[in-house]
Amino acid sequence: MAFEKVKEIIKDSPAFTKLTDLAAEKLGGKVLFATDDFFAEKENLIKPTRGIFIADKYTDRGKWMDGWESRRKRIAGHDWAVIQLATPGKITGFDIDTNFFLGNHPPHASIEAVNITDASSLKNLPTNETGWENIGWKEILQKSNLDAGSQNFFQINSNEIFTHIRLHIYPDGGVARCRVYGEVFKNWNIVAAGEEVDLAAAINGGKAIACNDMFFSSMNNLIMPNRGINMGDGWETKRNRTPGNRDWVILKLATAGIVNRIVVDTAHFKGNYPDSCTIEACYSKSDDDVVNDKVEWSLLLPQEKLSADKEHEFIRNINCPNSVTHVRLNIFPDGGVSRLRLFGTIKN
């Protein structure tokens, strides 16, 4: 398995970090097991944002840390944790982030992966190390150096589909976050003809690929599962004083399809929701052409008024006679939208 460590001297993060974090808790990832999480819980590995540090915060077990931290190992061996990806996918890269773990980070790590088509079979595994050993793990990142207090990026070259990873740390210590970047795999052949699906959902493979502004919160939140949990869990632009301003975001659908129902959710946006919105659509095999406006946009949803903290469902005014691959949500003049759902049927 080929891989390479990406040097941190690069100012910007590697290109693969723009892909979907397949392990993200927000998307549905889960940490199923860890050999030890005495100091800090394994579940922190997949939390949103980088880990934080609170100087004077302690628990009855020691210093509170925002990550996964095992105790100091006094016997042979090393610690590891198992993460169930939110969705099957092709892994392109990792970020093993040791943020704020300075005197207690693991010097090395490796990662194994496996494709378990029936995840329900894992429910019967014993809650100990032995039960996790013989399920067909394959090493995709060999034992590699980790720097303290850093994002440690590793690029992976593989076309295989995986559902779970096992993060090994040597011999013990703390990791703030483990990001598993890649492409969602969804078997569209098992989706029934005429079945309604959310064509934009990240869990199905949808992506937010460009926007003109996301000053307060990320465009990626628009297509996450469930309703937003607070105002930070949405896409919010800064206040714009330009008369007639329009802010916009472009989504690539998980697969080409016909849109027949739209939900624009302004949950938690009460004094800062957009006054109105429109949605445009196009069909293109090139994301670059879409982002560079080298496509012909058609009006999918005419301008509609929006209200505070509300799910707005639109059906009657949708105009989608042909299959589309990308949409552009325009908001007037600025503000925040929590979620955008584009329900429809597959049509290539």
CA distance 227 to 207: 17
- pLDDT over 60 at 266, yes or no: yes
pLDDT tens readout for residues 124-167: 665 778 888 888 999 999 999 999 999 999 999 999 999 999 99
Residue ranges and CATH numbers for the domains of the chain are 2-184 (2.60.120.260), 193-346 (2.60.120.260)
- pLDDT over 70 at 331, yes or no: yes
Please report, for residues 169, 207, 266, 318, the alpha-carbon distance to residue 194 in angstroms, rounded to integers and kept in the order given: 47, 23, 29, 17
Count of residues in the chain: 348
> pTM value?
0.91
pLDDT tens readout for residues 23-45: 999 999 999 999 999 999 999 99
Please report, for residues 100, 128, 185, the alpha-carbon distance to residue 97 in angstroms, rounded to integers and kept in the order given: 9, 26, 25
> What is the reported pLDDT for 123?
64
The mean pLDDT value for 296-301 works out to 98
Q: What are the structure tokens assigned to 205, written together?
A: 């493979």
> What is the reported pLDDT for 126?
57
pLDDT tens readout for residues 178-191: 999 999 999 999 99
- Inter-residue contact 46 to 178 (CB < 8 Å): yes
pLDDT tens readout for residues 240-262: 999 999 999 999 999 999 999 99
- Inter-residue contact 175 to 36 (CB < 8 Å): no
- pLDDT over 90 at 9, yes or no: no
